[in-house]
Amino acid sequence: MPKIERLNSKPSKPAPVALLLPGAGYTVLGPLLYWPVLALTRAGWDVWSINWHADAQGLLPRDAGQFVEDAVSQALHEMPNVPTAVLGKSLGTYALPHFLDWEIQAAWITPILSEARIAEAARRASDRHLFVGGTADPTWRPVEISKSHTETIIVEDGNHSLEVSDTEWHHSATGQLEVLRRLIHHLNPPR
């Protein structure tokens, strides 16, 4: 059973709530999730995550959507308030249909647009949703969202971790830094 975890200490006053939905093998310690957690925490947010890594191993594709939906329902039941922002990576993007019509800011890193239900929800997403993908990721199919009203960040030659192979490591890090700036700004716009 997935664990619902608060990633920072309990805020002393009411705070906006963020929910992170990591990938199957990409935890909150991965740079694309770690830095947004730190940025939101330092901005005073109450940040939560679903730790489903032990349970997600070996999932069949037909089970992934229901697994994520059940885990999100569990998280919403255990969290003190509904999220103001959602950040999903890969497996976590199966929650996109769930949050599609919520009045929240959402960012979806490497959404599995090769999965019909995710692609269909992404096409209907509003400008409250941001999509990030790499051209070397076989699950990233930007044609699926080309007519949506969302902001899209495309990492040329980026793989499913948004790393660019066949280059120096710092090219990937520099590219991810720009993605992170835009992603964090989207989740926590100036008020």
SS3 for 47? strand
Q: What is the pLDDT of residues 82-91, one digit of tens each?
A: 999 999 999 9
Domains of the chain: 3-187 (3.40.50.1820)
Round to whole Å and give the CA distance between 147 and 122: 10
With b for 16 or more beta-carbon neighbours within 10 A and e for fewer, the 93-129 pattern comes to bbbbbbbbeeebbbbbbbbbbebeebbebbeebeebb
Positive/negative CA dihedral, 115, 116, 118, 119? positive
**Banded pLDDT at 60 (limits 50, 70, 90):** low
Round to whole Å and give the CA distance between 52 and 74: 12
Mean pLDDT of 174-185: 95
Q: Is the pLDDT of residue 163 over 80?
A: yes
Q: Is the pLDDT of residue 45 over 90?
A: yes
Percent of the chain with pLDDT over 70: 97
SS3 for 180? helix
Cβ-proximal residues to 150 (8 Å cutoff; 6+ apart), any chain:
122, 125, 126, 127, 129, 130, 131
| The pair of three-digit structure tokens given for residue 133, joined into one six-digit string | 């993908």
**Banded pLDDT at 166 (limits 50, 70, 90):** confident
The dihedrals phi and psi of 14, each to the nearest 5 degrees, come to: -55, 135
What is the model's pLDDT at position 61?
Answer: 61
CA of residue 151 relative to chain centroid, distance: 14
Burial of residue 183 (CB within 10 Å: 0-12, 13-18, 19+) is buried
